[in-house]
């Protein structure tokens, strides 16, 4: 129960902004562009640079590769679901919903609650691989739901993540350190980004008629997503253990929990920016977040039990 209480206590303030976003959009008080454009073009790039500079080189090499591989391999179950279940959703939106994991917005408060401040460093390394996929290949996928492949590839160059990650890597190579004040700025930005992301979800829900939503349809999609993610993470961590064995127990615990994380808010931000399948993206994020509020603390409790009894 301790894991549940700690998690809910840390996440509740952010989740409250989902209904706030809904009200703001429903009453036409704030245009959605006033939130998603600063989020996409200013706040996220600053956080990316800061996270790259904070991350440990030794862990980036392993955790970033594992998280990138997880996102990439999650396309396979998405394709299977599309063909086997005859899902009407656009295949590129479905692939992105399977491949995007909310490592930053959801992950920071979750890892802080479950592992303390040390867990954030691990999460940062995982975030880099996840963000590389989500903001480049993932963005192209979402863009293809509206544009041709050539146009979608051109669209990705409008997303500043490419330039932010390049700048971060260059600064890292030259051992450039940001001023100490950036630590406080980064903490504030992390909160602002999480709040803005949850607000975007709420704003994307305003035109949805919940009475007509097929709950079983979304439950099947998300159940398969969770099962596939768990199996893929187990496979990747097993390969890492057998071939490299460069991670500690806590590294593996955090990485294992990523498979239970909800769909990243990036899906709603990109869908909103591109005006493509916005309602479906918002519903998937909302339902997967609710599912993760149960699965993540349950998974954390299971891992602690298994480790405590030296079963893993």
- DSSP for 13-80 reads HHHTHHHHHHHHHHTT-S-THHHHHHIIIIIHHHHHHHHHHHS-HHHIIIIIHHHHHHHHHTHHHHHH
Residue 48 phi, psi dihedral angles, 5° rounding: -60, -50
Q: Alpha-carbon distance 299 to 280, whole Å?
A: 27
Domain boundaries, position 107:
2-308
How do residues 175-203 score in pLDDT, each as one tens digit?
887 777 676 777 787 788 878 878 877 88
- Give whichever of 158-162, 167-171, 266-270 has the largest mean pLDDT: 167-171
For residue 251, which of 261, 260, 241 has the smallest C-alpha distance? 241
Question: Is pLDDT above 80 for 239?
Answer: yes
Q: What pLDDT digit, counting tens, does each position of 75-127 carry?
A: 999 999 988 887 777 777 788 889 989 887 788 778 877 887 778 778 888 98
Q: At what angle do helices 107-115 and 249-258 cross, to 10 degrees?
A: 140
CATH number at residue 112: 1.20.1530.20
Which of the two residues, 224 and 311, has the higher pLDDT score? 224
How many separate domains does the chain show?
1
């Amino acid at each position: 129960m301790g894991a549940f209480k700690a998690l809910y206590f840390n996440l509740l303030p952010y989740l409250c902004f989902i209904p706030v976003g809904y009200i703001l959009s429903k009453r036409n008080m704030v245009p959605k562009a006033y939130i998603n454009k600063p989020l996409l073009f200013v706040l996220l790039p600053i956080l990316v640079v800061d996270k790259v500079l904070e991350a440990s080189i030794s862990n980036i090499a392993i955790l970033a590769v594992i998280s990138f591989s997880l996102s990439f391999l999650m396309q396979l179950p998405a394709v299977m679901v599309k063909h086997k279940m005859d899902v009407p959703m656009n295949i590129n939106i479905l692939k992105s919903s399977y491949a995007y994991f909310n490592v930053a917005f959801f992950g920071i408060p979750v890892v802080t609650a479950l592992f303390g401040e040390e867990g954030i460093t691990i999460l940062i390394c995982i975030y880099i691989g996840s963000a590389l996929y989500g903001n480049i290949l993932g963005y192209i996928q979402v863009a293809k739901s509206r544009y041709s492949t050539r146009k979608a590839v051109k669209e990705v160059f409008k997303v500043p993540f490419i330039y932010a990650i390049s700048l971060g890597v260059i600064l890292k190579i030259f051992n450039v350190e940001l001023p100490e004040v950036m630590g406080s700025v980064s903490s504030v930005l992390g909160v602002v980004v999480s709040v803005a992301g949850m607000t975007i979800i709420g704003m994307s829900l305003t035109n949805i008629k919940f009475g007509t939503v097929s709950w079983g349809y979304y439950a099947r999609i998300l159940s398969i997503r969770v099962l596939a993610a768990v199996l893929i993470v187990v496979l990747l961590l097993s390969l890492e253990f057998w071939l490299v064995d460069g991670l500690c127990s806590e590294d593996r615990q955090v990485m294992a929990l990523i498979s239970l994380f909800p769909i990243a808010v990036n899906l709603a931000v990109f869908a909103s920016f591109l005006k493509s399948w916005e309602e479906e993206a918002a519903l998937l994020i909302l339902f997967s977040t609710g599912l993760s509020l149960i699965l993540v603390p349950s998974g954390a409790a299971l891992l602690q039990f298994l480790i405590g009894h030296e079963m893993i």
